[in-house]
């Protein structure tokens, strides 16, 4: 019987566990729609951080475009400090919206300006109002949207940049894969074609058109640029802890590596007198 | 547990004992807890040849402690109400100090718990740790697995996302397959006519309770373990004192090293891919009016889900008479896939414990491991999807049926046959012997 070096065996074990984990992760995501094209994100990888300028531009896109239909319920104005805004700027941003306050001493509700501690204002008073304004479809809350979709950031970018005038020929096939003749083709009322959306027909009006916003830093507001910026902003909204998490993670892993090496040396030493 | 025979005063050798020593002796004389700990943790004789597969038991215990500690902190900030649960979890992630860390450790800790326990169980299967005199120890382990599954299932409902809600609906609905009383049972489980606030609140209460029941069963599990001690890779009993070493320091340091390797893996996921093992859809708030495209459980429950969905109607051939509906048969198969583990000591009655000396068992064991992983893959995919994009006729349901057949055949057919007919390799005389024998052989 050959004895395998314990370090070797431990490594095999760790690798085995890793492979198993990855196999299972792959197994759980196997059933999803086609994978969106991977983009380069400032916040990916072990050392990723949010690109501050992109975040601020993305916030502008959200505020001027998306916030007309989509809420951002989990985020408060005070959280914008993470984007580099100072207290006065945040106060000013919050003050641009009107919130219901009260009741006051007389028991009456009143309208007040937004405050930093308020959560982002919801564009609609309730879901029914949102549906009524959007052809019956409900624009989802965007607070955790990049975590709620497989390949979240890549998907969001793909969604915003894949609106097409009309679906390609290959779209018009029935369940058995046979082509549908042009006479029988029916496009659903009030829907738009988007190649990244499951099923192709989406109720969201193409939200971005070139120069839809005027960037203050002079960046050219192409659709791709705005999509990239707003995705960076929403990725931050979904994972505001990302930068702290990664920097703490690096330290924790380094510490554990040192500790484990020490344990291994000790183990060798203690077991040495046995063999 | 025997009381020390001498009164406390006599235990010190060099004049006056320190105050801590005195206190220890005072307590030990009245309740020998320190003697007990010394005996069970320090001197506890352990086979000298345990390999790294024996690390996973202590790892499981440590992960459970981590889950309980993070769970208690989460519970301080979580609100079990359908209108607030989702938001309260997001508040933990954003506004509670290090709340994101605590939740990600808890969430991924559940995955790690299953990973570690599954390896622990496969270890027992391979080295025959369920055979006499360790049957009770094995059964207690299966009870722990069942409790873990219940706990994790109910915990997953708490954040009240789409998968929480629909997972709870699908799993509780399984009980409606029970003839006559099924629907009444489901209503009773729900506390109403749908998964709703009463369901969430009772699941929360049970999710808090069950981990402590698990702690209790683990205590019994360890008690049973310490009567005959650990099995070992050779699967033979210890003969002489030469075969054993004290648990401390040999296995304490080995377990600590293993813990370090494990924590690197665990923390790597927590800090760099905290949502990789989860279903993204659960970050959408529960919506009873909108069924997700695919309802899938967490990865650690996928194999059972695959077995559930693999079973067709049980009918008498050529008559079309259905004896049992697919749903009920599936539920029975799913629960059976775990309950069958209780019967292992009888199904595999070979006196040779370790697969090292059973050449065919060894091969079929690894096939079984692969089959379990395949079942996981099947559970993650729609039954009617083609497995390979070229071959339309071969769907996941077929793969699931093949894998399920092997799963049960492995226990019910292969094990008894092997126990009776497999030619086994000669066992070494003692744990210390193979080392010596190897030397002799290489000297020839
Ligand atoms: C056997 C041990 C345990 C297991 C396997 C387990 C498993 C889980 C799982 C899978 C979740 C869902 C995580 C998510 O997706 O968000 C969860 C959530 C939760 N658990 Fe546990 N848990 C255990 C012990 C405990 C204990 C002892 C407590 C309380 C004292 C607790 C309190 C909570 C709370 C409050 C939540 C909801 C917050 C959240 O979803 O993150 N858990 N648990």
- Active-site annotation holds for B377: no
Any A CB within 8 A of B284 CB:
yes
In which band, very low, low, confident or very high, does the pLDDT at A269 lie, cut at 50, 70 and 90?
Answer: very high
Top mutation candidate among B106, B107, B284 for ligand 1, by most atoms within 8 Å of CB: B106
Any A CB within 8 A of B241 CB:
no
Q: Per-residue pLDDT for B3 more than 70?
A: no
Helix/strand/coil for A193: strand
**Which range (A30-44, A164-178, B204-218) has the least confidence?**
A30-44
What pLDDT, on the 0 to 100 scale, is given for residue A274?
84
Which residues lie below 8 Å from residue B294, measured CB to CB, with a gap of 6+? A31, B382
- Residue A241: closest CA among B277, B99, B266: B99
Tokens of A32: 């999803």
CB proximity under 8 Å: B 319-378 to A = 373, 376-377
> Cα–Cα distance between B388 and B41 in angstroms, integer?
52
The beta-strand segments (E) located in B320-385 are 321-324
> Cα–Cα distance between B281 and B293 in angstroms, integer?
10
> Cα–Cα distance between B210 and B213 in angstroms, integer?
5
In which band, very low, low, confident or very high, does the pLDDT at A55 lie, cut at 50, 70 and 90?
Answer: very high
Share of chain B above pLDDT 90, in %: 85
Average pLDDT, chain B: 93
Average pLDDT, chain A: 89
Whether residue B356 contacts residue B368, with contact meaning beta carbons closer than 8 Å, is answered with: no
- Residue B149: closest CA among B301, B296, B342: B301
- Residue B177: closest CA among B330, B356, B2, B30: B330
Q: Per-residue pLDDT for B325 more than 50?
A: yes
The residue with greater pLDDT, A114 or A34, is A114
Q: A190 in the Ramachandran plot: left (φ > 0), alpha (ψ -120 to 50) or beta?
A: left
**Which range (A40-44, A120-124, B8-12, B303-307) has the least confidence?**
B8-12
Whether residue B279 contacts residue B78, with contact meaning beta carbons closer than 8 Å, is answered with: no
Q: Across-strand partners of A42?
A: none
- Determine the number of helices (DSSP H) and then strands (DSSP E) in chain A: 8, 5
From chain A, pick out residues whose CB is under 8 angstroms from the CB of B283.
144, 147-148, 238
Q: Across-strand partners of A163?
A: A194
ipTM confidence score: 0.89
- Active-site annotation holds for B28: no
Question: DSSP character for B55?
Answer: G
- Active-site annotation holds for B255: yes
Of B254, B325, B327, B398, which residue is the catalytic one? B254
Q: How many CB atoms lie within 10 A of CB A68?
A: 13
Q: Across-strand partners of A119?
A: A76
Give the residue-averaged pLDDT of B94-111. 98
> Cα–Cα distance between A203 and A185 in angstroms, integer?
18
In which band, very low, low, confident or very high, does the pLDDT at B10 lie, cut at 50, 70 and 90?
Answer: very low
- Residue B255: closest CA among B60, B45, B69, B40: B60
Q: Where are the alpha helices (DSSP H) in B95-196?
A: 99-126, 135-157, 162-173, 182-190
**Which range (A222-236, B9-23, B65-79) has the least confidence?**
B9-23
B151 lines ligand 1 (CB under 6 A): yes
Contact B48 A252 (CB under 8 A): no
In which band, very low, low, confident or very high, does the pLDDT at B156 lie, cut at 50, 70 and 90?
Answer: very high
Q: Find the A240 Cα to ligand 1 centroid distance in Å.
A: 22
Give the residue-averaged pLDDT of B34-59. 92
Rg of chain A taking only CA atoms, in angstroms = 26
Any B CB within 8 A of A144 CB:
yes
HSE of A15, CA atoms in CB hemisphere, 13 A: 6
Instruction: Name the residue with tokens 């040192």.
Output: A258
In which band, very low, low, confident or very high, does the pLDDT at A175 lie, cut at 50, 70 and 90?
Answer: confident
What pLDDT, on the 0 to 100 scale, is given for residue B40?
85
For residue B261, give the nearest of A27, A79, A260 by CB distance: A260
What pLDDT, on the 0 to 100 scale, is given for residue A196?
94
Whether residue A118 contacts residue A99, with contact meaning beta carbons closer than 8 Å, is answered with: yes
Q: What angle do CA B93, B97, B99 make, to 5 degrees?
A: 30
A216 to each of A88, A221, A235, B78, B420, how far by Cα in Å?
18, 10, 22, 41, 81
Helix/strand/coil for B46: strand
Give the residue-averaged pLDDT of A4-26. 52
> Cα–Cα distance between A32 and A196 in angstroms, integer?
13
As a 3-state breakdown, chain B gives helix, strand, coil percent values, each rounded to 5, of: 65, 5, 25
Any A CB within 8 A of B388 CB:
no
Angle between helices B302-310 and B326-339 (to 10 degrees): 140
Helix/strand/coil for B393: strand
Question: DSSP character for B390?
Answer: T
Whether residue B230 contacts residue B47, with contact meaning beta carbons closer than 8 Å, is answered with: yes
Atom of ligand 1 nearest to the CA of B75: 35
Q: Find the A70 Cα to ligand 1 centroid distance in Å.
A: 31
Share of chain B above pLDDT 70, in %: 94
From chain B, pick out residues whose CB is under 8 angstroms from the CB of A150.
280
What pLDDT, on the 0 to 100 scale, is given for residue A135?
87
- Please give, rounded to a whole number of angstroms, the shortest distance from the CA of B115 to a CA of chain A: 8
What pLDDT, on the 0 to 100 scale, is given for residue A177?
81
In which band, very low, low, confident or very high, does the pLDDT at B432 lie, cut at 50, 70 and 90?
Answer: confident
Q: Per-residue pLDDT for B437 more than 70?
A: no
A35-75+119-240 fold: Cytochrome Bc1 Complex; Chain D, domain 2 (1.10.760)
In which band, very low, low, confident or very high, does the pLDDT at A208 lie, cut at 50, 70 and 90?
Answer: very high
Question: For A177-207, what is each residue's pLDDT tens digit?
Answer: 888 998 888 898 889 999 999 989 999 999 9
> Cα–Cα distance between B436 and B54 in angstroms, integer?
23
For residue A252, give the nearest of B260, B271, B298 by CB distance: B271
**Size of the A and B interface in Cβ pairs below 8 Å:** 140
B75 lines ligand 1 (CB under 6 A): yes
Q: Which helix (H) or strand (E) holds A272?
A: helix A242-272
Q: Per-residue pLDDT for A130 more than 60?
A: yes
- Residue B286: closest CA among B422, B168, B417: B168
> Cα–Cα distance between B442 and B444 in angstroms, integer?
6
In which band, very low, low, confident or very high, does the pLDDT at B21 lie, cut at 50, 70 and 90?
Answer: very high
Helix/strand/coil for B398: helix
Question: For A86-126, what is each residue's pLDDT tens digit?
Answer: 999 999 999 999 999 989 999 999 999 999 999 999 999 99
Q: What angle do CA B348, A24, B161 make, to 5 degrees?
A: 115
B364 to each of A12, A265, B49, B416, B427, how far by Cα in Å?
21, 37, 24, 13, 20
Domain spans, chain B: 34-293, 296-423
Q: B235 in the Ramachandran plot: left (φ > 0), alpha (ψ -120 to 50) or beta?
A: left
Rg of chain B taking only CA atoms, in angstroms = 25
Whether residue A241 contacts residue A79, with contact meaning beta carbons closer than 8 Å, is answered with: no
- Please give, rounded to a whole number of angstroms, the shortest distance from the CA of A271 to a CA of chain B: 7
Terminal CA-to-CA distance of chain A, rounded, Å? Answer: 15
Strands B314-316 and B386-388 turn out to be unpaired
CA B256, B259, B260, B261 torsion-angle sign: positive
Overall CATH class of domain B34-293: mainly alpha
- Residue B354: closest CA among B202, B247, B234: B234
B296-423 fold: Helix Hairpins (1.10.287)
- Residue B380: closest CA among A51, A149, A245, A30: A30
Atom of ligand 1 nearest to the CA of B278: 15
- Residue B334: closest CA among B375, B382, B293, B279: B375
- Determine the number of helices (DSSP H) and then strands (DSSP E) in chain B: 17, 6
Top mutation candidate among B158, B217, B284 for ligand 1, by most atoms within 8 Å of CB: B158
Give the residue-averaged pLDDT of B244-252. 93
Q: Find the A245 Cα to ligand 1 centroid distance in Å.
A: 21
């Amino acid at each position: 019987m050959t004895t395998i070096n314990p370090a070797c065996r431990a490594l095999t074990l760790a690798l085995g566990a890793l492979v198993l984990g990855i196999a299972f992760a792959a197994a759980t995501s196997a059933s999803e729609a086609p994978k969106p094209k991977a983009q380069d994100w400032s916040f990916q990888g072990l050392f990723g951080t949010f690109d501050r300028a992109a975040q601020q531009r993305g916030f502008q896109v959200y505020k001027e475009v998306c916030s007309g239909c989509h809420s951002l319920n989990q985020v408060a104005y005070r959280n914008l400090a993470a984007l580099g805004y100072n207290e006065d700027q945040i106060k000013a941003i919050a003050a641009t919206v009107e919130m219901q306050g009260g009741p006051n001493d007389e028991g009456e509700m009143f309208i007040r300006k937004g405050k930093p501690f308020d959560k982002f204002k919801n564009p609609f008073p309730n879901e029914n109002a949102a549906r009524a304004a959007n052809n019956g479809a409900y624009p989802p809350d965007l607070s955790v949207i990049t975590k709620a979709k497989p390949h979240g950031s890549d998907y969001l970018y793909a969604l915003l940049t894949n609106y097409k005038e009309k679906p390609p020929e290959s779209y018009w096939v029935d369940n058995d894969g046979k082509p549908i003749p042009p006479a029988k083709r029916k496009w659903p009322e009030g829907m738009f074609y988007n190649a990244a959306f499951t099923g192709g027909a989406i109720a969201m009006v193409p939200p971005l058109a070139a120069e839809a916003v005027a960037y203050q830093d002079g960046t050219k507001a192409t659709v791709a640029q705005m999509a990239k910026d707003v995705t960076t902003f929403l990725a931050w909204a979904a994972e505001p802890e990302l930068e702290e998490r990664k920097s703490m993670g690096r330290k924790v892993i380094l510490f554990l590596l040192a500790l484990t090496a020490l344990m291994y040396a000790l183990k060798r030493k203690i077991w040495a007198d046995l063999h | 547990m025997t009381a020390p025979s001498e009164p406390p005063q006599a235990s010190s050798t060099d004049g006056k004992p320190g105050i801590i020593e005195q206190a220890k002796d005072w307590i030990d004389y009245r309740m020998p807890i320190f003697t007990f700990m010394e005996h069970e943790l320090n001197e506890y004789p352990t086979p000298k040849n345990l390999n790294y597969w024996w690390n996973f038991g202590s790892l499981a215990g440590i992960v459970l402690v981590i889950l309980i500690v993070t769970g208690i902190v989460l519970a301080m900030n979580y609100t079990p109400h359908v209108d607030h649960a989702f938001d309260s979890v997001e508040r933990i992630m954003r506004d509670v100090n290090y709340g994101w860390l605590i939740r990600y450790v808890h969430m991924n800790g559940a995955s790690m718990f299953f990973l570690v326990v599954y390896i622990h169980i496969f270890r027992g299967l391979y080295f025959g740790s369920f055979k006499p005199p360790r049957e009770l120890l094995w059964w207690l382990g299966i009870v722990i697995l069942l409790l873990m599954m219940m706990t994790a299932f109910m915990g997953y409902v708490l954040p009240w996302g789409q998968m929480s809600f629909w997972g709870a609906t699908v799993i509780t609905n399984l009980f409606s397959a029970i003839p006559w009383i099924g629907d009444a049972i489901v209503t009773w489980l729900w506390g109403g006519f749908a998964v709703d606030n009463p369901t969430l609140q009772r699941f929360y209460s049970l999710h808090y309770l069950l981990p402590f029941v698990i702690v209790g069963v683990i205590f019994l599990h360890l008690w049973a373990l310490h009567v005959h001690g650990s099995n070992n890779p050779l699967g033979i009993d210890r003969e002489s004192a030469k075969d054993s070493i004290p648990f401390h320091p040999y296995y304490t340091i080995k377990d600590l090293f293993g813990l370090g390797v494990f924590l690197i893996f665990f923390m790597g996921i927590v800090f760099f891919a905290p949502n990789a093992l989860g279903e993204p859809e659960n970050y959408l708030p529960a919506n009873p009016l909108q069924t997700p495209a695919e309802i899938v459980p967490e990865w650690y429950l996928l194999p059972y889900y695959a077995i559930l969905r693999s079973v067709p109607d049980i009918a008498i051939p050529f008559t079309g008479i259905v004896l049992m509906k697919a749903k009920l048969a599936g539920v029975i198969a799913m629960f059976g896939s775990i309950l069958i583990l209780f019967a292992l000591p009888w199904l595999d009655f070979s006196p040779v414990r370790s697969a090292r000396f059973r050449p065919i068992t060894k091969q079929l064991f690894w096939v079984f491991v692969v089959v379990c992983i395949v079942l996981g893959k099947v559970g993650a995919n729609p039954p009617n999807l083609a497995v390979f994009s070229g071959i339309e006729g071969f769907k996941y349901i077929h793969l699931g049926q093949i894998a399920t057949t092997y799963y049960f055949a492995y226990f019910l057919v292969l094990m008894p046959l092997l126990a009776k007919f497999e030619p086994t390799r000669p066992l070494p005389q003692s744990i210390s012997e193979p080392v010596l024998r190897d030397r002799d052989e290489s000297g020839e």
